[in-house]
Amino acid sequence: MHGGFEHKLGVLFVCLGNICRSPMAEGAFRAVAEQRGLSCLVDSAGTASYHVGSQPDPRAIAVASLHGIDIAGQAARQIERDDFYRFSHIIAMDRANLEGLRSKAPRDGTARLAMLMDAVDGRRGEPVADPYYGNTQAFETAWSVIALGVEAWTARLLLESQTQRRA
């Protein structure tokens, strides 16, 4: 069985390779959640398997480090069936990732699927552009977008967890 974790907050960030965007989102979210006192299971995964076991892209490690966050210890993995039960929220970086998740989701999966920018006022549905084929600037741009997204998700989840505790 799937163990009854559904009530607990858990956030899984998902991109294609799990070496650029979702590792940055995982690192950024961990830091913000900790600052704000949000207790939450946090992880990241890719829809594809090309990079399983790899460390994040050196450019992602570098930009995270510039912002004071160490993501070098992460290792890429692919999304798996259990993730749709273990995590309350699975957050995709772009529309293709979201479609990939929808096609893999078990019918009775309990996780809510969304896109990172859905929590940001006025930017619902906006993708985090894939920086993999871009330059250093593309990673810096991705970081800025991700930073906005994780702030907004932290605020939203804090509200949700407070509302649930009162209910």
Question: Is 81 marked active-site?
Answer: no
Q: How far, in Å, CA of 101 to CA of 95, rounded?
A: 10
Phi, psi for residue 20 in degrees, rounded to 5:
-120, -80
61 sits near ligand 4NP (criterion: CB under 6 A): no
Question: Is 59 marked active-site?
Answer: no
43 sits near ligand 4NP (criterion: CB under 6 A): no
Q: Which of 9, 11, 12, 16 binds ligand 4NP (CB under 6 A)?
A: 16
Binders of ligand 4NP in range 118-137 (CB under 6 A): 130, 132
Q: Which spans in 17-135 are helix H?
A: 21-36, 58-66, 83-86, 95-104
**Shortest Cβ contact with ligand 4NP: which residue?**
17
Which bin fits 157, alpha (ψ -120 to 50), beta or left (φ > 0)?
alpha
Cβ(48)–Cβ(22) under 8 Å? no
Selected catalytic residue, list 83, 94, 118, 130: 130
Question: Which residues are tagged catalytic?
Answer: 15, 21, 130
Please give the residue ranges that form the binding site for ligand 4NP (CB under 6 A): 15-21, 50, 130, 132
